[in-house]
Structure 1
Amino acid sequence: MIIDRQHYVLCSHCDLVIELSDITVGHKAVCPRCNATLAKNNSNMKFSAVMYAICSLIMIIVACGFIFIDIRIVGNFIGVSVLDIPKTLFSDNYSYISALFILFVLLFPIFNLSIIVLLCSKLQLTKYRKRDLLVVYEKCQHWCMPEIFLTGILVSFVKLMSYGSIGVTGTFWAFCLFVFFYIKSLVIFSPETIWNEIHRSNFATDTPKVGKTGICQNLKLCKCCQAILPVHYVKCPRCKQKSNIRDRDKIQWTLALLVTSLILYIPANLFGIMITVVFGSSSTSTIMDGVIYMWQAGDIPVALVIFIASVVIPILKIISLSWLCYFALAVKRKNKQHCLRMKRLYTAVEFIGKWSMIDIFVVAVICSLVRNQQMMGVYPDIGVTFFATVVIITMIASQKFDPRLIWDRPKNRK
């Protein structure tokens, strides 16, 4: 089966004008210049996406209602549900981390799943409602982290074994299914299909010239709905969001945020992230203390995961984004191979950036479970707040960077 989609698109990564047509079901169209995915054709997209989204919502309701992890410490049984984790953090006066957990693990994913159900079901929604839902979906998508929390749970099991006997219930497997169905629904769902139902994607007054950049033809891309717009349009007619031909001014924001994250990264590593109290005696552990503990205990793979996610990735992300800003602003002689390397670097930074939150989720799980009152207790420390802020700031910094600047020639810079 082949669908006929003869329309023009502007690549969001390199600004090349491309004409799309005849995308076979199960295949996708990629940019010939930077290899970025432009469009895909999934058979029965709406039905498959809504089914996976509904299944995912059912699983998260089950996962939030019952105990999903338990631990036995010196004969005492302690069990927590997903909702008990933010409650514990809030009671420890870490409402900031509690709010991040609720937003990133629960609310934002549930919002996006609900939006998929509304847009892909047979409900009669006006084009204005569809537009608003798609804008919210786009805003929330970067901040959904249920899969990272699940990985954090698995990593925390290794350290929890030193405190007592760990057990999981059927609710834990319900949460695993929630994450699986959530990822499947996101992979299948195509916002472009819904946007095209609302309005056309090409608002150019003249036929775009294929193989040339949009900036050379006085065209720009709407970052929200991917529509092609003339440069004089202040707002996109389709999604009503403001758009610029280039976000060069945001490079200053990126650099400022990187400097801020680098400053905050120092106390994030110097201060402890957990306080362990045993028979009234307390000890503080930093991120590196956790890595060293895992390494000495023989859990080398887990130690490497924590070290890479919590130490290597934040530093590499700051260095990589700084290098991308330098390449976009200062390098005058660019060839395709150099630009492709920078594009791959930016894609990697976008993908791995939020995985640094894994250490925050490990702390949240351990602090919620190890609460044996007078005998033993684990509590979050101030370093976890600094580290979470570093991760969020670097994520915002990467979103501020415009990858099209990588491909711009000096004569096209405006």
Structure 2
Amino acid sequence: MPHCVVVLKKNEERRALAGHPWVFSNEIETSLKELSPGALVTVRSSQGKVLGSATCNPHSLIALRFFDRRPNIELDTTQFQTRIRRAYELRHRLFPDPYYRLVFAEGDELPGLVIDRYGEVFVIQCHTAAMDAREGQIIEALKLLFPVEGILVKNTAQVRELEQLPREERIAFGHVPEVVDLIENGVGLRTRLIGGQKTGYFYDHRENRARAALLARGRKTIDLFAYVGSFGIQAAVRGAAHVTLVDASREACDLIEDNARINTVSDRVEVVAEDAFAYLERCRDEGRKFGTVLVDPPAFIKNRKNMKEGIEGYRRLNRLAMQVVEEDGFLVTSSCSYHMDPQTFRRTVQAAARDAHRRLQILGQGHQGPDHPTLPAMSEGDYLKTLFCRVL
């Protein structure tokens, strides 16, 4: 069945032709008032050139999201099955165990859809009206592709509000345990799905954790904003002399303790339920030092309005972190703030070094892992920034 046709304003097709999947509402000539949120449309330039098939939400600033560069493509169960299978084939090649981000939205040509895999349990996030309306087809496609034991719909992301969608969390199929075990970099870890943060675990740091563990070998290490301890526990397993893991959540600290026991490293692990800033200040004031400091905070910059405040938060955090690093020690520091570009993050860390009267050598930069693929024309998808630093 042919889609409705949406025509862009003159010269507004350039970003789409370059491969970017978003079209903003002020770039569209055609009125979208008669289209329902989640409708599928074929997009044309002002000269009539077909730009592709897109999902549409007239109520969103990002009004169109391309999912195919051909016209009149449907998003039915068969299409979801084809695209999820293609995403799976990549992950199956990359990872020995079935624990990964199976679908990463625009990066896997399914804009607005995120799926994480925990063995045969799957967690779905629908960020757009189009994916929300097709939840049934997505679930059916998963059941056709995998021996699914359970599916959790975890539509709790703030971004849903931009599409005028409610937040919710519910079991959509089968049995979903409250906590699950997974394997990352050969290390067993336990995390909480029901009631846990986001989709339950942060697979995006997989490669950064492996790299950080090398810098922690034989050293006294601290893992800040530790959540379930994925950085610090992997460091302990790989030979860190001692690891202190700090998180403000008592529930997260309980999971860290479980993960230390699972990996038989409890004798080299200390778990602290405390605010990371307060703990760093106390360590600084008491003269405590660490050979390796691991910093992975939540996003401090939620929108462009609080950019200045968020940058100051990163600067203060990294200054405190450097004040507790031993001479010739290591700092692994990250930002997952979508609005902070890599250059700004690097400048902020450098400013923190000046504040702390320390010198840095940048040993490397990290990004999200290959189960979070990005598009060359879409810098917005490359959100995770990690710096591996030697602190002098």
TM-score between the two structures when normalised by the length of structure 2: 0.24
Q: Which one has a bigger Cα radius of gyration? A: 1
